């Protein structure tokens, strides 16, 4: 990125400006380096810290400094305030946030990216093509209230592109769906409308679907490594290992993320409901409020299924995602409650210890 990149080019807008106090606005404009305050956006996230950028250049904030502030976890796309000693001041409220349940057995949430305007959901047209996986990403986008755009890649390796594109379009008739070859510059031109100045695009998709190739094509240079997929199962290898925000020649910003072999949802009920709006609408017409939509009498969903108005695969996908997000949300809520109780106990012990030392017990 150019060191003279303006805050507006990085996505700064009134939503963030209005969060600043009068004192912070004054410190942002002063020339005194001892007191000056800076606003910057996180453009890279690494295990040991983050890289922040503003109109003056790029700055590294180490994990030690971040931990010392006892701040919320940061992610790529965040806007924050920091001083001349590169000390973190505070995180600005996010306009949007992508997060998932941490992979594996860890009970926690993992932040993916924030302050995104559009989400490119990338799916290849080889053996990776999976409607249920696309629905999972759509639920994530709708929960974050971010515009989802489906990018179907590797059209040169598919003989039934039109059929698969129509299958995806049937998930939402108003959703933008593009089928292209990311290696063909003429195909990439149709995506230029999403890359306007100050707009941030995030890419999500499995490994090997062509996200890095797509980034390279939009950037016009090879900024990301790419690797071949395995011939036996069309699975890809992780070629992106960290999240980074990059400035596009068209003026927008693009965020590539590592391929996700596991994307479990949590606290995503609204997103799932919006993704399957025709099913959630039918559910309100069931005879019983607690209908499980299996064999209960008066079930509007089963009735629609019998008539062929809804698809069995889509119903199964909806039920699976609703169960998953409910279970993960409950587990995370229990963890937060335990952590809160532990924190109160520690504070109580520390208070009692201080009172004992002062002889006020």
- pLDDT reading at 174 higher than 80: yes
Q: What is the pLDDT of residue 230?
A: 46
Question: Would you state the pLDDT for residue 283?
Answer: 92
Whole-number Cα distances in Å, 186 to 94, 189, 304, 329: 35, 5, 43, 44
pLDDT in tens, 273-321: 999 999 999 999 999 988 888 888 999 999 999 999 999 999 999 999 9
Q: Mean pLDDT: which of 26-40, 214-228, 256-270, 279-293 is highest?
A: 279-293
Q: Which residues contact 1 (CB under 8 A, 6 or more apart)?
A: 43, 53, 58, 246, 247
The predicted pLDDT at position 70 comes to 44
Angstrom distances, CA of residue 325 to CA of 112, 113, 273? 17, 19, 11
Least confident of 26-30, 64-68, 300-304, 344-348: 344-348
Q: What is the structure's pLDDT at 71?
A: 46
HEC states along the chain?
CCCCCCCCCCCCCHHHHCCCCHHHHHHHHCCCCCCCEEEEEEEEEECCEEEEEECCEEEEEEHHHHHHCCCCCCCCCCEEEEECCCCEEEECCCCCEEEEECCCCCCCEEEEEECCCEEEEEEECCCCCCHHHHHHHHHHHHHCCCEEEEEEECHHHCCCHHHHHHHHHCCCCCCEEEECCCCCHHHHHHHHHHCCCCCEEEEECCCCCCHHHHHHHHHCCCCCCCCCCCCCCCCCCCCCCCEEEEECCCCCEEEECCCCCCCECCCCHHHHHHHCHHHHHHHCCCCCCCCCCCCCCCCHHHHHHHHCCCCHHHHHHHHHHHHHHHHHHHHHHHHHHHHHHHHHHHHHHHHHHHHHHHCCC
Token output for 148: 């989802």
Kindly report the average pLDDT of the chain as a whole number.
Answer: 82
Quick: pLDDT tens for 75-125. Answer: 999 999 998 888 888 899 999 998 876 655 555 677 889 999 999 999 999
Which residue's entry shows tokens 């606003």?
39
Percent of the chain residues past pLDDT 70, beyond the cut = 77
| pLDDT higher than 80, residue 351 | no
Radius of gyration of the chain (CA): 24
Nearest to 115 by CA among 187, 207, 43: 43
pLDDT of residue 238: 44
| Mean pLDDT value of segment 219-223 | 71
Residue 349 has pLDDT above 90, yes or no: no
Token reading at 341: 């109780």
Of 188 and 359, which is predicted with more confidence? 188
Burial class (CB in 10 A: 0-12, 13-18, 19+), 243: buried
How much is the pLDDT for 284?
93
Range from 69-78, 97-106, 120-129, 340-349 carrying the lowest mean pLDDT: 340-349
Averaged over 117-141, what is the pLDDT? 92
* Closest to 74 in 3D by CA, of 56, 87, 86, 61: 61
> pLDDT, tens digit, for every residue of 41-56?
999 988 777 899 998 8
Query: pLDDT grade, residue 229 (50/70/90)?
Result: very low
Tokens of 112: 């993916």
pLDDT for 157 beyond 50: yes
pTM: 0.80
Overall average pLDDT of the 218-226 stretch: 66
Which residue has better confidence, 358 or 267? 267
- What is the pLDDT at residue 99? 83
pLDDT above 70 for 343: no
pLDDT at 226 over 60: no
- Burial level of 351, CB count in 10 A (0-12/13-18/19+)? exposed
Report the half-sphere exposure of 40 (CA within 13 A, side-chain side).
Answer: 30
pLDDT of residue 253: 94
Whose CA is closest to 280, among 268, 293, 266, 298?
293
Higher pLDDT, 165 or 239: 165
pLDDT at 342 over 50: no
Per-residue confidence (pLDDT) for residue 295, from 0 to 100: 82
């Amino acid at each position: 990125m150019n060191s003279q990149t303006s805050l507006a080019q990085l996505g700064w807008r009134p939503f963030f400006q209005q969060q600043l106090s009068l004192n912070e606005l004054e410190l942002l404009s002063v020339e005194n380096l001892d007191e000056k305050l800076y606003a910057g956006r996180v453009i890279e996230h690494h295990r040991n810290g983050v890289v922040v950028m503003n109109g003056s250049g790029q700055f590294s904030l180490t994990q030690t400094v971040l931990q010392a502030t006892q701040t919320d976890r940061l992610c790529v796309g965040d806007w924050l305030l920091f001083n001349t000693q590169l000390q973190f001041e505070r995180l600005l409220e996010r306009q949007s946030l992508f997060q998932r349940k941490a992979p594996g057995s860890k009970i926690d949430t993992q932040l993916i990216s924030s302050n995104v305007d559009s989400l490119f959901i990338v799916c290849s047209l080889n053996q990776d093509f999976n409607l249920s996986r696309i629905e999972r990403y759509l639920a994530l986008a709708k929960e974050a209230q971010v515009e989802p755009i489906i990018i179907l890649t590797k059209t040169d390796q598919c003989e039934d592109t039109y059929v698969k594109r129509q299958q995806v379009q049937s998930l939402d008739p108003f959703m933008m769906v593009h089928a292209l070859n990311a290696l063909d510059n003429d195909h990439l031109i149709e995506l230029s409308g999403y890359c306007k100045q100050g707009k941030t695009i995030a890419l999500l998709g499995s490994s090997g679907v062509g996200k890095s190739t797509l980034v390279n094509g939009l950037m016009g240079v090879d900024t990301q490594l790419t690797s071949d997929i395995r011939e036996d199962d069309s699975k890809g290898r992780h070629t992106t290992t960290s999240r980074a925000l990059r400035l596009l020649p068209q003026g927008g910003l693009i965020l590539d993320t590592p391929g996700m072999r596991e994307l479990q949802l949590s606290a995503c009920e609204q997103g799932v409901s919006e993704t399957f709006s025709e099913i959630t609408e039918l559910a309100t017409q069931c005879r019983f409020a607690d209908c499980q939509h299996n064999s209960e009498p008066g079930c509007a969903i089963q009735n629609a299924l019998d008539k062929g108005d809804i698809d069995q695969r889509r119903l199964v996908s909806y039920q699976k995602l609703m169960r998953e997000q409910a279970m993960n949300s409950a587990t995370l809520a229990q963890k937060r409650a335990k952590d809160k109780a532990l924190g109160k106990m520690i504070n109580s012990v520390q208070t009692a210890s201080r009172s004992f030392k002062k002889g006020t017990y």
